[in-house]
């Protein structure tokens, strides 16, 4: 029997996008979100063409592209000398090469645009303040399929035998923003820049909507098993400073000056089953939370939502879920490998770092772009 109604747990990027992609297929849904209000935490987000082309189809992109920035390049820069090591063209080049734009924006801009579309959609019904596991969802209609879009700490995973588990990645993100007017000149206002150094890297890009620069430093570090974002302790700050030894003094002082740093331990999931062979499926971070070394976690959540709806559109649920998992798993595995490679290359020290800088310096921009074709040029399929 074809799917008519879905229950979605979690109204993050995965859950809200899934509601919209299902609605486009004539499948109604109820979304259950634990928060009483959707306030997006965090700061910036890079939206690559593989995701923006889906947002375009959902009618969201026009709104976003009015306020976001399409960076001219994505630069890799030495964290010690501030010398540019390589630059992948983006901007107009991204639109031409990958057929959709590459944009950077505040996460709340995307979340609010998705939320407004969900609220305006008669096929979608959002229930706030409902936590799976604590109170029973006020279901209005029994669901043919249950979609777990409840993030890295997913509760719905318990319903999927052999599902992944969260584990600490060994990395910490330190996040902050700086008003653009106060930002030092070496922070490029037109590009995404990743400053690379031994054991750490720092990603910076402007957020046009807020007139600020989004900054995320990622370093190796320790965290308690269930640690959540918080302010760093004096000890954690000291450890961060230690990891920046050998970095350019302008970057070190910039981090030292920041009063408002967020300490954000990075958790990822192990591999495991995403569906129970009947009617429950996990998507987004609930299925495959990954490190932000390829900036693709939200993009994968958006692709998942789009392709899950394609599978569900014309098949019995159990078959659709099994095919969805089989189709998506290799792409996610390949992206994780790319993330692990970037982590190795970005945080390289000594001779490996010298080799990396030489190789990057020799690669023409076209070749750097070609290396990203399989990620950014991916066209999530409408018919599966």
Task: Tell me if 221 contacts ligand FAD by CB under 6 A.
Answer: no
Report the candidate in 285, 284, 291, 286 with the shortest Cα–Cα distance to residue 307.
284
Rounded (5°) CA angle 35-38-43: 115
CA distances from 314 to 15, 66, 292 (A): 21, 35, 34
Among 103, 166, 198, 292, binds ligand FAD (CB under 6 A): 292
Nearer to ligand FAD, 29 or 357 (CB): 29
Q: Does 46 bind ligand FAD (CB under 6 A)?
A: yes
Cα–Cα distance, 210 to 222 (Å, whole number): 32
| Binding mask of the shown chain, residues 271 to 290, with x at each position contacting ligand FAD by CB under 6 A | -------------xx-----
Vertex 329, ends 21 and 281: CA angle to 5°? Answer: 50
Asked if 298 touches ligand FAD (CB under 6 A), the answer is yes
Binding positions for ligand FAD, 156-175, rule CB under 6 A:
173
**How many residues bind to ligand FAD according to rule CB under 6 A?**
32
Instruction: Kindly tell me which residue out of 3, 6, 7, 13 binds ligand FAD, with binding defined by CB under 6 A.
Output: 13
Choose between 10 and 166: whose C-beta lies nearer to ligand FAD: 10
CB of 130 to ligand FAD, least distance (A): 6
Residue 323 makes contact with ligand FAD by CB under 6 A = no
Alpha helices, H only, the chain: 13-24, 49-57, 61-67, 91-98, 107-119, 234-243, 249-257, 285-288, 297-312, 317-346, 350-362, 365-370, 373-376
Determine the Cα–Cα distance for residues 300 and 289; give it in Å rounded to an integer.
10
Pick between residue 254 and residue 335 the one whose CB is nearest to ligand FAD.
Answer: 335
Residues at the site binding ligand FAD, with contacts judged by CB under 6 A: 9-15, 32-35, 45-46, 131-133, 149-151, 155, 173, 216, 266, 284-285, 292, 295-299, 301
């Amino acid at each position: 029997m074809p799917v008519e109604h879905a229950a979605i747990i979690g109204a993050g990027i995965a859950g809200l996008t899934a509601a919209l992609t299902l609605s486009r297929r004539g499948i109604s849904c109820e979304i259950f979100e634990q928060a009483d209000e959707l306030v997006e935490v965090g700061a910036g987000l890079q939206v690559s063409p593989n995701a923006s082309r889906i947002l375009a189809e959902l009618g969201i992109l026009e709104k976003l592209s009015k306020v976001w920035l399409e960076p001219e390049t994505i630069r890799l820069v030495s964290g010690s000398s501030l010398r540019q090591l390589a630059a992948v063209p983006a901007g107009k080049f991204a639109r031409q090469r990958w057929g959709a734009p590459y944009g950077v924006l505040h996460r709340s801009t995307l979340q609010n645009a998705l939320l407004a579309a969900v609220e305006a959609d008669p096929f979608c019904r959002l229930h706030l303040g409902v936590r799976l596991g604590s109170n029973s969802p006020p279901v209005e209609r029994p669901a043919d399929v249950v979609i777990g879009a409840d993030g890295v700490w997913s509760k719905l995973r318990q319903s999927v035998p052999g599902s992944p588990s969260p584990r600490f990645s060994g990395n910490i993100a330190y996040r902050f923003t700086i008003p653009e007017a106060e930002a030092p000149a070496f922070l490029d206002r037109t590009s995404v820049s990743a400053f690379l150094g031994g054991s750490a890297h720092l990603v910076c890009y402007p957020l046009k909507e807020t007139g600020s620069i989004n900054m995320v430093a990622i370093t190796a570090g320790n965290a308690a098993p269930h640690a959540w974002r918080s302010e760093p302790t004096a000890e954690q700050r000291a450890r961060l400073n230690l990891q920046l030894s050998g970095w350019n003094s302008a970057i070190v002082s910039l981090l030292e000056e920041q009063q408002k740093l967020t300490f954000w331990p990075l958790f990822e999931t192990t591999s495991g089953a995403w569906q129970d062979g009947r009617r429950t499926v996990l998507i987004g971070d609930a299925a495959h939370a990954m490190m932000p070394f390829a900036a693709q976690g939200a993009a994968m959540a958006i692709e998942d939502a789009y392709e899950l709806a394609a599978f569900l559109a014309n098949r019995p649920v159990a078959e659709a879920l099994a095919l969805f998992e089989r189709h998506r798993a290799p792409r996610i595995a390949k992206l994780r490998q790319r993330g692990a490679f970037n982590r190795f290359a970005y945080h390289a020290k000594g001779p490996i770092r010298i080799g990396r800088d030489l190789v990057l310096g020799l690669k023409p921009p076209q070749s750097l772009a070609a290396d990203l074709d399989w990620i950014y040029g991916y066209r999530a399929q409408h018919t599966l």
